[in-house]
Structure 1
Amino acid sequence: MSRWLTVLLSLIVVTGCAAYATHQLDSVFGSATPENRAQSISSQEAEFYHQQVKPILDSRCVSCHACYDAPCQLKLTASEGIERGGSKDLVYDGTRLLAAKPSRLFIDGKTTDEWRQKGFHPVLNERDQSPAANLEGSLLYRAIALRKQQGEFAQPVLDDDYDFSLARDQQCVSIEEYDQFEKDYPKWGMPYGLPQLTDSEYNVLSRWLASGGKMPAPTPLTEELQQQVAVWESRLNGDSLKDQLVARYIYEHLYLYSMYLGDGEAFRFRLVRSSTPPGEPIDRIATRRPYDDPGVDRVYYRLWSDPEVKVQKNHIPMRLDDARYQRWQSFFYGTEYQVTSLPSYEPEVATNPFMAFREIPPYARYRFLLDHAQKTIMAFIKGPVCRGQVAVNVINEQFWVYFLDPEIAYNKGTADFLESQVKDLEMPAVESSNTLSIASWVMFSEQQKSYLSAKAKLMQTEFNKISALDLDLIWDGDGNNQNAALTIFRHFDNASVVRGMVGQHPKTAWVIDYPLLERIHYLLVAGFDVYGNVGHQLVTRLYMDFLRMEGEMNFLMLLPKEDRERIRQYWYRDANQIIKDYIFSDYIKVGVQSDIQYKTSDHQAELYEMLRSKLAAILDHGYDLPRSKLAQQDINALLSLQQVQGGGIEYLPNVVTVLVTRQGEPLEVLSLIHNKAHANISSLLDEASTRLPQEDGVTIVKGVLGDYPNVLMQVEESELQNWVKHIAALKTRQDYVALLNGFGVRRTHPNFWSVSDAIARLNKQDRPRESGILDFNRLENR
Structure 2
Amino acid sequence: MKKWCFAVLGLVLSHCVSANQSSYSQDIQPIFTQKCVACHACYDSPCQLNLGSAEGLTRGAHKLPIYNGRRTTAQATTRLFVDARNSEEWREKGFFDVLAAGQAQASLLAAMLELGRQQSFAPNSRLPADLQIGIARKDQCPLPGEFASFAQKNPHSGMPYGVTGLTDAEYASIKQWLQTGATVDWQPWSANNLEQQQIEQWEAFLNAPGARENLVSRWLYEHLFIAHINFEHGHEQHFFRIVRSYTPTGKKVKEIATRRPNDDPGVKMYYRFVPVTDVIVHKTHITYAMSVDKLEHVKALFLGGDWRADKVPDYGAFSRSNPFATFALIPAQARYQFMLDDAEYFLRTFIRGPVCRGQIATDVIRDNFWVFFQDPQHDIYLTDQAFQGKATPLLEMPGQFDQISNLLGLWGSYKEKRNAYEKLRIKRYSKAERPDWSHIWSGNEQALLSVFRQYDSATVRKGLIGDVPQTMWLMDYPILERTYYQLVVNFDVYGNVAHQAQTRLYFDLIRNGSEVNFLRLMPHNARQKILNDWYQKSGRIKLWLDYTDIDNDTKSALGVPKKNSIRVFAERALQRFDAVNARPDPINRCRSAHCYREGLSTEAAAVEHSLARLSSRPAAGFQVINYLPEASMLRIELSNGEREVYSLLRNRAHSNVAFMAGESLRYQPGLDTLTIYPEVLSSYPNFIFNILAADVPRFVAALEQVKDETDFRKVVEEWGIRRTHPQFWRYFHDLSEHIREREPLEAGVLDMNRYENL
After TM superposition, the score normalised by the length of structure 1 is 0.89
Q: Could you tell me which residue of structure 1 aligns to residue 9 of structure 2?
A: none
Corresponding residue SS for 1:444: helix
Q: Identify which of 291, 297, 313 aligns with 2:262.
A: 291
Tell me: CA distance 1:161–1:753, structure 2 relative to 1, closer, same or farther (3 Å). Answer: same
Q: Could you tell me which residue of structure 2 aligns to residue 525 of structure 1?
A: 488
How is 1:712-751 mapped onto 2 (pairs within 5 angstroms)? Answer: 712-751=688-727
Corresponding residue SS for 1:764: helix
- Counterpart CA distance in 1 for 2:285 and 2:422 is 34
Q: Identify which of 639, 644, 649 aligns with 2:617.
A: 644
Q: Could you tell me which residue of structure 2 aligns to residue 34 of structure 1?
A: none
Q: Could you tell me which residue of structure 1 aligns to residue 58 of structure 2?
A: 83
- Counterpart CA distance in 2 for 1:524 and 1:43 is 50
Higher mean displacement: 691-700 or 756-765: 756-765
Q: Does 1:543 align with 2:506?
A: yes
- Counterpart CA distance in 2 for 1:306 and 1:634 is 39
Q: Identify which of 636, 661, 666 aligns with 1:660.
A: 636
Q: Identify which of 647, 665, 672 aligns with 1:696.
A: 672
Residue 600 of structure 1 contacts residue 606 of structure 1 at CA under 8 Å; is this kept in 2? Answer: no
- Counterpart CA distance in 2 for 1:65 and 1:434 is 32
Q: Identify which of 279, 286, 289 aligns with 2:250.
A: 279
Corresponding residue SS for 1:368: helix
Residue 436 of structure 2 contacts residue 521 of structure 2 at CA under 8 Å; is this kept in 1? Answer: yes
Corresponding residue SS for 1:119: coil
Higher mean displacement: 657-666 or 247-256: 657-666
Q: Could you tell me which residue of structure 2 aligns to residue 9 of structure 1?
A: none
Q: CA deviation at 1:82?
A: 0.5
Q: Identify which of 227, 252, 266 aligns with 2:237.
A: 266
Q: Could you tell me which residue of structure 2 aligns to residue 188 of structure 1?
A: 157
Tell me: CA distance 1:326–1:47, structure 2 relative to 1, closer, same or farther (3 Å). Answer: farther
How is 1:460-539 mapped onto 2 (pairs within 5 angstroms)? Answer: 460-462=430-432, 467-477=433-443, 481-539=444-502
Q: CA deviation at 1:259?
A: 0.8
Q: Which amino acid in the other structure matches residue 292 of structure 1? A: D
Q: Could you tell me which residue of structure 1 aligns to residue 536 of structure 2?
A: 573
Q: Does 1:341 align with 2:316?
A: no
CA displacement 1:672-706 (0-9 Å, x = unmatched): 00001111111321111111111110100112110
Q: Could you tell me which residue of structure 1 aligns to residue 181 of structure 2?
A: 212
Q: CA deviation at 1:45?
A: 9.6
Corresponding residue SS for 1:531: coil
Corresponding residue SS for 2:384: helix
Residue 652 of structure 2 contacts residue 668 of structure 2 at CA under 8 Å; is this kept in 1? Answer: yes
Q: Could you tell me which residue of structure 2 aligns to residue 399 of structure 1?
A: 369
Corresponding residue SS for 1:668: strand
- Counterpart CA distance in 1 for 2:222 and 2:327 is 11
Tell me: CA distance 1:780–1:667, structure 2 relative to 1, closer, same or farther (3 Å). Answer: same
Q: Does 1:114 align with 2:83?
A: no
Q: Does 1:387 align with 2:386?
A: no
Q: CA deviation at 1:502?
A: 0.5
Residue 72 of structure 2 contacts residue 498 of structure 2 at CA under 8 Å; is this kept in 1? Answer: yes
Tell me: CA distance 1:197–1:623, structure 2 relative to 1, closer, same or farther (3 Å). Answer: farther
- Counterpart CA distance in 2 for 1:562 and 1:600 is 7
Corresponding residue SS for 2:236: coil
- Counterpart CA distance in 1 for 2:640 and 2:66 is 42
Q: Could you tell me which residue of structure 2 aligns to residue 67 of structure 1?
A: 42
Residue 312 of structure 1 contacts residue 774 of structure 1 at CA under 8 Å; is this kept in 2? Answer: yes
Residue 59 of structure 2 contacts residue 87 of structure 2 at CA under 8 Å; is this kept in 1? Answer: yes
Q: Which amino acid in the other structure matches residue 485 of structure 1? A: L
How is 1:299-318 mapped onto 2 (pairs within 5 angstroms)? Answer: 299-318=269-288
Q: Which amino acid in the other structure matches residue 270 of structure 2? A: Y
Corresponding residue SS for 2:695: helix
Tell me: CA distance 1:43–1:271, structure 2 relative to 1, closer, same or farther (3 Å). Answer: farther
Aligned-pair identity in percent equals 35
- Counterpart CA distance in 2 for 1:644 and 1:725 is 14
Q: Could you tell me which residue of structure 2 aligns to residue 3 of structure 1?
A: none
Q: Does 1:320 align with 2:283?
A: no
Tell me: CA distance 1:504–1:610, structure 2 relative to 1, closer, same or farther (3 Å). Answer: same
- Counterpart CA distance in 1 for 2:388 and 2:109 is 54
After TM superposition, the score normalised by the length of structure 2 is 0.92
Corresponding residue SS for 1:272: strand
Residue 282 of structure 2 contacts residue 748 of structure 2 at CA under 8 Å; is this kept in 1? Answer: yes
Count of residue pairs the alignment pairs up: 726
Q: CA deviation at 1:51?
A: 3.5
CA displacement 1:467-517 (0-9 Å, x = unmatched): 23111100012xxx2110000001011111111000110000000000000
Q: Could you tell me which residue of structure 2 aligns to residue 710 of structure 1?
A: 686
Q: Does 1:614 align with 2:576?
A: yes
Q: CA deviation at 1:283?
A: 1.6
- Counterpart CA distance in 1 for 2:243 and 2:380 is 31
- Counterpart CA distance in 2 for 1:113 and 1:251 is 31
Q: Which amino acid in the other structure matches residue 530 of structure 1? A: V
Q: CA deviation at 1:536?
A: 1.0
- Counterpart CA distance in 1 for 2:530 and 2:382 is 34
Q: Which amino acid in the other structure matches residue 60 of structure 2? A: G
- Counterpart CA distance in 2 for 1:548 and 1:524 is 12
Higher mean displacement: 299-308 or 597-606: 597-606
Q: Which amino acid in the other structure matches residue 362 of structure 2? A: V
Q: Does 1:136 align with 2:105?
A: yes
- Counterpart CA distance in 2 for 1:206 and 1:664 is 41
Note the residue ranges of structure 2 that are not aligned, 5 or more in a row. 1-16, 587-595
- Counterpart CA distance in 2 for 1:652 and 1:742 is 15
Q: CA deviation at 1:634?
A: 1.9
Tell me: CA distance 1:45–1:384, structure 2 relative to 1, closer, same or farther (3 Å). Answer: farther
Tell me: CA distance 1:58–1:385, structure 2 relative to 1, closer, same or farther (3 Å). Answer: closer
Runs of 4+ in 1 over 6 A off after TM superposition: 42-47
Q: Does 1:56 align with 2:31?
A: yes
Residue 102 of structure 1 contacts residue 531 of structure 1 at CA under 8 Å; is this kept in 2? Answer: yes
Q: Which amino acid in the other structure matches residue 111 of structure 1? A: N
Q: CA deviation at 1:165?
A: 3.6
Residue 509 of structure 1 contacts residue 552 of structure 1 at CA under 8 Å; is this kept in 2? Answer: yes
Q: Which amino acid in the other structure matches residue 434 of structure 2? A: A
Corresponding residue SS for 1:525: helix
Q: Which amino acid in the other structure matches residue 419 of structure 2? A: K
- Counterpart CA distance in 1 for 2:19 and 2:461 is 43
Q: Could you tell me which residue of structure 2 aligns to residue 770 of structure 1?
A: 746
Residue 123 of structure 2 contacts residue 725 of structure 2 at CA under 8 Å; is this kept in 1? Answer: no
Corresponding residue SS for 1:270: strand
CA displacement 1:415-457 (0-9 Å, x = unmatched): 4323322332111133258684322222221111101001111
Q: Could you tell me which residue of structure 2 aligns to residue 445 of structure 1?
A: 415
Higher mean displacement: 49-58 or 393-402: 49-58
Higher mean displacement: 533-542 or 753-762: 753-762
Q: Could you tell me which residue of structure 1 aligns to residue 100 of structure 2?
A: 125
Q: Could you tell me which residue of structure 1 aligns to residue 424 of structure 2?
A: 454
CA displacement 1:573-628 (0-9 Å, x = unmatched): 11244302157743x42621011123684221111122112221111128876266
Higher mean displacement: 410-419 or 348-357: 410-419
Q: Could you tell me which residue of structure 1 aligns to residue 201 of structure 2?
A: 231
Note the residue ranges of structure 1 that are not aligned, 5 or more in a row. 1-41
Corresponding residue SS for 1:62: coil
> Aligned-pair RMSD on alpha carbons?
2.2
Tell me: CA distance 1:715–1:453, structure 2 relative to 1, closer, same or farther (3 Å). Answer: same
CA displacement 1:120-154 (0-9 Å, x = unmatched): 0011115xx3xxx1x11322222111111223437
Q: CA deviation at 1:64?
A: 0.2
- Counterpart CA distance in 2 for 1:664 and 1:86 is 46
Q: Could you tell me which residue of structure 2 aligns to residue 18 of structure 1?
A: none
- Counterpart CA distance in 1 for 2:535 and 2:208 is 50
Q: CA deviation at 1:726?
A: 2.2
Residue 390 of structure 1 contacts residue 685 of structure 1 at CA under 8 Å; is this kept in 2? Answer: no
Q: Could you tell me which residue of structure 2 aligns to residue 684 of structure 1?
A: 660
Tell me: CA distance 1:125–1:441, structure 2 relative to 1, closer, same or farther (3 Å). Answer: same
Q: Which amino acid in the other structure matches residue 480 of structure 2? A: L
Q: Which amino acid in the other structure matches residue 734 of structure 2? A: A
Q: CA deviation at 1:657?
A: 1.3
Q: Could you tell me which residue of structure 2 aligns to residue 199 of structure 1?
A: 168
